[in-house]
């Protein structure tokens, strides 16, 4: 992650799980990415995720399997420095809880630091929350700044891009020659192409002869998909997103966003000298779960996304059967490991 000179490398590229807590459309993930972008003076941050059902083919996740294997039989004590729980297993001492949590994290770090994966030693260290250098409030402010956000961030269903602009007073000097390869800094929307007698041409997504162009070929030929919108959305060739493209795009500048909320926030830029117009709440198809000030919403394709409670209109919205309440009121404690691992099933005679 660092250069030979000890500086953090200027471009971050992540692949993450597609779950609602990790995908690049989740607001907390975006804020965290902005934190890293600003704190480490990065030229670009790219966070990608797999399409539904494809996480099993994520090679990084598969290579992390040894981490779980090494924890077989490991018992993490919850009261190493004394119990921070009362008789109902609710926290009564936050400082003691943090010390006990640190103790458990240190045990895990020591175990994983003994591993070698693909010939590389594993480096694991428990990081105290107070040690982080990242400014959460600054990142949240930039997320709310519609002008800064429009110039530096591009969203899509499976990819988040954060890129430095060319204004030195805003982002400082570029640390790489990224813009010599990708002029705008942002990866262009993928396009389907096919070769004809007159050369390469773009084609529609239902053309079985079409193939997605490699990045360098697309850049060199300056190929772009056709679209009735002002700009080609990054998700143009995603069949499950086709019905959302228009509503997720700004009718004024053409910018595309991965959620209605982000689109509505951006459109406030074009309200001409009038009182702030309330942003319309999002009405999901169904509600799957709730937790502190957040609701897990499902759209028509059963795509899940955590949204702030204040941004969701739940009037007459059906709940998923066996809706999960993620609020944790008490810490589950295993008092007897032998009883806990007992099989709940009984054998037939």
Comparing C-alpha atoms, which of 88, 86, 1 is closest to residue 45? 1
The whole-model pTM stands at: 0.75
Question: Long-range pairs for 26-30 at CB < 8 Å and ≥24 separation?
Answer: 26/305, 26/306, 27/143, 27/306, 27/307, 27/308, 28/306, 29/160, 30/143, 30/153, 30/155, 30/160
Residues of the chain with pLDDT > 70, as a percent, come to 89
CA distance 159 to 14: 10
Residue 255 structure tokens? 């910018």
Higher-scoring residue by pLDDT: 4, 152: 152
CA distance 221 to 329: 58
The number of residues in the chain equals: 349
- Among 113-122, 123-132, 302-311, top mean pLDDT goes to 113-122
**In the predicted model, is pLDDT for residue 302 greater than 50?**
yes
pLDDT at residue 33 in the model: 92
**DSSP label of 197:** T
């Amino acid at each position: 992650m660092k250069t030979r000179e000890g500086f953090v490398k200027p471009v971050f590229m992540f692949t993450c799980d597609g779950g609602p807590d990790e995908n690049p459309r989740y607001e907390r993930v975006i804020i965290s990415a902005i934190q890293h972008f600003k704190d480490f003076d990065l030229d670009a941050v790219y966070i990608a995720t797999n399409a539904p059902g494809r996480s099993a083919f994520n090679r990084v996740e598969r290579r992390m399997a040894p981490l779980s294997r090494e924890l077989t039989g490991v018992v993490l004590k919850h009261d190493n420095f004394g119990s921070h729980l009362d008789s109902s297993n609710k926290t009564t001492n936050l400082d003691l809880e943090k010390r006990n949590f640190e103790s458990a994290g240190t045990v895990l770090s020591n175990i994983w630091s003994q591993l070698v994966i693909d010939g590389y030693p594993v480096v694991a260290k428990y990081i105290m929350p107070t040690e982080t250098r990242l400014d959460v409030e600054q990142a949240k402010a930039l997320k709310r700044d519609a002008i800064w956000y429009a110039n530096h961030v591009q969203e899509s269903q499976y990819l988040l891009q954060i890129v430095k602009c060319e204004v030195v007073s805003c982002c400082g000097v570029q640390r790489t020659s990224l813009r010599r390869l990708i002029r705008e800094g942002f990866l262009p929307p993928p396009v389907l192409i096919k070769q004809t007698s007159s050369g390469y041409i773009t084609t529609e997504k239902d053309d079985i002869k079409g193939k997605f162009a490699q990045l360098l070929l697309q850049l060199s030929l300056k190929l772009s998909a056709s679209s009735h919108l002002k700009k080609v959305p990054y998700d143009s060739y995603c069949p499950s997103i086709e019905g959302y493209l228009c509503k997720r795009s700004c009718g004024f500048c053409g910018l595309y966003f991965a959620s209605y909320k982000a689109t509505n926030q951006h459109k406030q830029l074009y309200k001409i000298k009038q009182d702030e117009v309330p942003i319309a709440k999002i009405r999901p198809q169904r509600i799957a779960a709730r937790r502190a000030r957040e609701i897990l919403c499902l759209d028509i394709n059963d795509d899940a996304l955590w949204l702030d409670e204040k941004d969701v209109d739940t009037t007459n919205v059906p709940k998923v059967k066996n809706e999960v309440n993620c609020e944790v009121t008490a810490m589950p404690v295993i008092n007897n490991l032998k009883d806990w691992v007992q099989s709940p099933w009984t054998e037939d005679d």
